[in-house]
Amino acid sequence: MDKVNLNEKFSLFDDVYAPKIVGELNGQYVKLVKLHGPYIWHNHQSEDELFLVIKGSMTIEFRDSSVDVNEGEFMIVPKGVEHRTVAYIEAWVLLFEPESTVNTGEVEHEYTQTDLDKI
């Protein structure tokens, strides 16, 4: 059993929209990702997603609304809900989601990551 220092883990990578696995529990991954700029519209038919902002801020856009999520706040996007993230300045985000979750959901895109690094 080891503790995880989030600042140390975030210092290990610079790429954006490339989630890294930092923990596993009960069929779920704990992932870290850096966001900057707009992501792609997508949904996850079978998985909810939790976005916890560690540093900075982001907006989660839906087709009919948007929600600002600031440092120390989180939001859960229910399965099946189309969304995209936008970070106007770099944001550090912790994701908590099932192991089967693909970062671009049902959409195949250059951002799609199926073989995630463990750090």
Paired tokens of 8: 């140390």
Domains assigned to the chain: 41-97 (2.60.120.10)
Residue in the block written with tokens 């909810």:
48
Q: Could you tell me the CA-to-CA distances from 37 to 34, 67, 102, 114 in Å, in that order?
A: 10, 16, 19, 21
Compute the distance between CA of residue 19 and CA of residue 77 in angstroms, rounded to an integer. Answer: 17
Nearest to 95 by CA among 27, 21, 14, 10: 21
Per-residue pLDDT of the chain (119 residues; tens, 9 = 90+): 789 999 999 999 999 999 999 999 999 999 999 999 999 899 889 999 999 999 999 999 999 999 999 999 999 999 999 999 999 999 999 999 888 776 656 767 667 666 778 99
